[in-house]
């Protein structure tokens, strides 16, 4: 936490929306309209996207530097206190996602089709899950309704698959659903959303063994070289080596 110096990852739900929005902007040949919001930022409360403030008043805009510093320090203090708290936090209400994913995986296991057909079935499942974000971000990018419908399934999957975070999330879902006998756990969705977002933009990621294989498989399919580590100590060592290598000054040859 001390080494982070206040840098934090933006809410993966917001990153996903930004990626879809920007993908539609580029598809419309409007790169200047893209949000291009940094995924790692010093902005206070970047951990929580506006969608998490549903039913509550959004925080007011910063009026001066004192207000900004006050809110930034408050956000940092709350984050530190939360992460250092050893008391167990009870899980939220059951959304049904785990049971639904298990039924879908079991159905794919019994399906007498090749992996390509199964991948298409998984993509349909993903589009259904992201239909609200796809529609809302297309509208935010000023995509005409007729054109959005004309792009259809292939166009929506292209927007998803070509994005660093949501594209990796898609690959992890493919990997897990295609693995026969997969057992889904309640925290799998949270793990996959945050890990895919981090691995889509970071150079080093640490995760539990449970998610390491699908994450590495997804990174390989997307042609990414993000380092994935099982233990924090290994990641720290790799980071130190990378920093040392980058600090070495090589004189040009004569």
How does pLDDT run across 25-43, given as a tens digit for each residue? 999 999 999 998 899 988 8
How does pLDDT run across 53-103, given as a tens digit for each residue? 544 444 555 557 788 788 888 888 888 888 888 888 777 788 889 999 999
Q: Give domain status of residue 67, yes or no.
A: yes
Average pLDDT over the chain, rounded to an integer = 87
How does pLDDT run across 179-219, given as a tens digit for each residue? 999 999 988 999 999 999 999 999 999 998 889 999 999 99
Q: Give domain status of residue 240, yes or no.
A: no
Question: Which tokens is 193 given?
Answer: 């959303």
In contact, 176 and 105? CB cutoff 8 Å: yes
Give bridge partners of residue 59 from the DSSP assignment: none
In contact, 218 and 175? CB cutoff 8 Å: yes
Q: First vs last Cα of the chain: how many Å apart?
A: 45
Q: Say how many domains are in the chain.
A: 1
Question: Which tokens is 77 given?
Answer: 């203090």
In contact, 211 and 190? CB cutoff 8 Å: no
Report d(CA 127, CA 228) in Å as an integer. Answer: 27
pLDDT band at 248; cut points 50, 70, 90: low
When pLDDT is averaged across residues 158-164 and rounded to a whole number, the result is 94
- Give the domain range for residue 28: 8-53+63-77
Strands (DSSP E) found in the chain? 8-9, 40-41, 204-206, 227-229
Residue 51 has pLDDT above 90, yes or no: no
Residue 253 has pLDDT above 50, yes or no: no
Helices (H), the chain: 12-27, 65-84, 97-110, 115-129, 131-140, 145-161, 164-178, 188-201, 209-221, 232-247
When pLDDT is averaged across residues 22-26 and rounded to a whole number, the result is 95
Q: Give domain status of residue 31, yes or no.
A: yes
* Contacts of residue 57, Cβ cutoff 8 Å, sequence gap at least 6: none
Q: Give domain status of residue 88, yes or no.
A: no
Q: Give the largest Cα separation in the chain, rounded.
A: 67
SS3 call for 202 = coil
Sign of the C-alpha dihedral, residues 185, 190, 191, 193?
A: positive
Q: Give domain status of residue 160, yes or no.
A: no
Q: Give domain status of residue 20, yes or no.
A: yes
Whole-model pTM: value is 0.85
Q: Give domain status of residue 25, yes or no.
A: yes
Question: What is the number of residues in the chain?
Answer: 254
């Amino acid at each position: 936490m001390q080494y982070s110096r206040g840098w934090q990852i933006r809410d993966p739900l917001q990153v996903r929306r930004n990626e879809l929005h920007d993908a539609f902007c580029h598809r419309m040949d409007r790169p200047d309209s893209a949000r291009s919001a940094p995924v790692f930022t010093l902005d206070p409360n970047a951990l929580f996207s506006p969608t998490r403030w549903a039913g509550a008043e959004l925080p007011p805009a910063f009026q001066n530097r004192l207000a900004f510093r006050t809110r930034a320090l408050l956000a940092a203090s709350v984050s530190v206190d939360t992460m250092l708290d050893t008391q167990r936090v009870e899980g939220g209400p059951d959304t049904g996602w785990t049971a639904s994913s298990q039924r879908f995986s079991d159905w794919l296991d019994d399906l007498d089709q090749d992996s390509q057909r199964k991948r298409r079935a998984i993509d349909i499942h993903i589009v259904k899950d992201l239909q609200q974000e796809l529609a809302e971000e297309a509208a935010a990018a000023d995509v005409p309704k007729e054109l959005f419908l004309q792009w259809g399934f292939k166009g929506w999957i292209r927007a998803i698959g070509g994005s660093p975070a949501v594209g990796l999330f898609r690959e992890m879902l493919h990997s897990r659903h295609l693995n026969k006998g997969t057992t889904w756990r309640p925290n799998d969705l949270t793990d996959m959303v945050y890990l895919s977002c981090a691995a889509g933009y970071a150079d080093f990621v640490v995760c539990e063994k449970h998610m390491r294989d699908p994450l590495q498989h997804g990174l390989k399919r997307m042609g990414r070289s993000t380092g994935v580590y099982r233990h924090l100590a290994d990641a720290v060592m790799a980071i130190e080596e990378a920093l040392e290598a980058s600090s070495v000054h090589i004189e040009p040859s004569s």
